[in-house]
Amino acid sequence: MNILNEVLQNNKTSLNPIWIMRQAGRYLPEFREIRKKNQNFIKLCLNNELSSEITLQPIKRFDLDAAIIFSDILMLPYGLNQGVEFKKNFGPILGDLKLNETLKITDKEFTKKIYPVYKAINFVSENDLIKNKKSTIGFVGAPWTLMVYMINKQSPKLSLKRDFFSDKDTIDKLFLLLDKFLKVHIKNQIESGAQVIQIFDSWAGLLNEKDLPKFIYNPTFSLVEYVKTLNIPVICFPRGIKNYKAYCEIVKPDAICIDYEVDPIKIEKEIKIPVQGGMDPKVLLTDKDNLKKEALKYLDIFKDHPYIFNLGHGVLPDTNPDMMDYLVKTVKDY
């Protein structure tokens, strides 16, 4: 069994697997070469040859324990025929949500539209660098985060639009639709060779405590339970959430990924399941002494707890690949 799955399934504390969110992408010169020639981000994700190559780029460079497929959580709305495009220095822009038309889409139509993603997962999982050595990670956006993008039509970095919660009927129908197609998307990834699923709830921090059961706990629990029926471990990353303990007790993932604003000492005391992540990606922009100090801080705190080394968010584009190499070696030598 691969070291990541070993920790997730058997709660091993003697191992410290490492993989990094956004490890395949913007900070690697070989990725930038590809990106220069492929301006359309969605088309790039749907080019299974290139997306496989990008997924494997960091594996060729660093001794990471998993490959996470180069794709995007917004492949789901794209597969449901909502327009999705990525604007430079702005982020994603989505088209109008035509819910009545979207509700008519079949599993088959959805799968066909984003089929190259599954093809890429299959290619990566069968690659000699990965097969029987490292885990292949598939992923989805959590229902709440996808709903934010689909209704808001852009990143809510500035804010949610004022009438976001006004159409309760749309929200209820959208939750049912997302539950159905996220499960199709998860199943397709697992059948293509994904051995771990991560659920990204990037905008979990936008909600008040009272809204968490409806928008986060219940819909995410439904997905977590589904992944478990397929005998695959599931990691949840509810970024910005205040109460990780309650989240773990209600949603019951196999592991919890923490962001960099969380106190890791408190997490180590309160959380029983394996923990992933935590270190601020900005640490990789400093120097090697500081990087080593910060990495060891997390490794020391979780030394008696099943722990997967990762960041508290994705690698920043300005990261020097040499710093990433140093980080991986620091974790491996621990």
**Local structure of 193: helix, strand or coil:** coil
Say what the pLDDT of residue 163 is: 87
Say what the pLDDT of residue 80 is: 98
Over range 213-232, report the average pLDDT.
98
- Point out which residues pair with 136 in neighbouring strands: 67
Q: How distant, in Å, are the alpha carbons of 117, 131, 149 from that of 43?
A: 11, 27, 19
Instruction: Identify the CA nearest to 103 among candidates 174, 185, 166, 182.
Output: 174
Pairing status of strand 275-277 against strand 307-308: parallel
Rounded CA separation 173/169 (Å):
6
Structure tokens at 118: 């599954």
Q: Does residue 73 have a pLDDT over 70?
A: yes
Greatest CA span in the chain, whole angstroms?
56
- Point out which residues pair with 154 in neighbouring strands: 93
CB count in 10 Å sphere of residue 310: 26
Q: What is the DSSP code string of 4-60?
A: HHHHHHH--SS---B--TT-SSTT-HHHHHHHHH---HHHHHT-HHHHHHHHHHHHH
Instruction: Identify the CA nearest to 140 among candidates 14, 218, 234.
Output: 234
Confidence label for 26 from pLDDT (cuts 50, 70 and 90): very high
Confidence label for 162 from pLDDT (cuts 50, 70 and 90): confident
Q: Contact 216/253 with Cβ under 8 angstroms?
A: no
Over range 240-258, report the average pLDDT.
97
Rounded CA separation 264/130 (Å):
31
Rounded CA separation 226/253 (Å):
11
Q: How many CA atoms lie within 13 A of 58 on its CB side?
A: 29
Q: How many CA atoms lie within 13 A of 326 on its CB side?
A: 19
pLDDT tens-digit profile of 253-263? 999 999 999 99
Rounded CA separation 257/205 (Å):
14
Over range 212-221, report the average pLDDT.
98
Q: Any idea which of 49-63, 85-99, 319-333 has the lowest mean pLDDT? A: 85-99
Q: Does residue 323 have a pLDDT over 70?
A: yes
Say what the pLDDT of residue 160 is: 84
Structure tokens at 166: 């006004």
Q: Contact 214/172 with Cβ under 8 angstroms?
A: no
Instruction: Identify the CA nearest to 189 among candidates 238, 255, 116.
Output: 116
Say what the pLDDT of residue 158 is: 67
Confidence label for 138 from pLDDT (cuts 50, 70 and 90): very high
Rounded CA separation 57/28 (Å):
8
Interhelix angle 48-61/29-37, nearest 10 degrees: 170
Over range 206-231, report the average pLDDT.
97
Over range 244-248, report the average pLDDT.
97
Record the pTM: 0.98
Question: In order of start, what are the domains of the chain with their CATH numbers?
Answer: 3-333 (3.20.20.210)
pLDDT tens-digit profile of 169-190? 999 999 999 999 999 999 999 9
Pairing status of strand 91-94 against strand 84-87: antiparallel
Q: Does residue 159 have a pLDDT over 90?
A: no
Say what the pLDDT of residue 46 is: 98
Structure tokens at 65: 């324990």
**Local structure of 190: helix, strand or coil:** helix
Q: What is the DSSP code string of 195-252?
A: -EEEEEETTGGGS-GGGHIIIIIHHHHHHHHHHHHTT--EEEEETT-S-HHHHHHHH-
Say what the pLDDT of residue 251 is: 98
CA dihedral 41, 47, 53, 59 (to 10 degrees): 60
Q: Does residue 311 have a pLDDT over 90?
A: yes
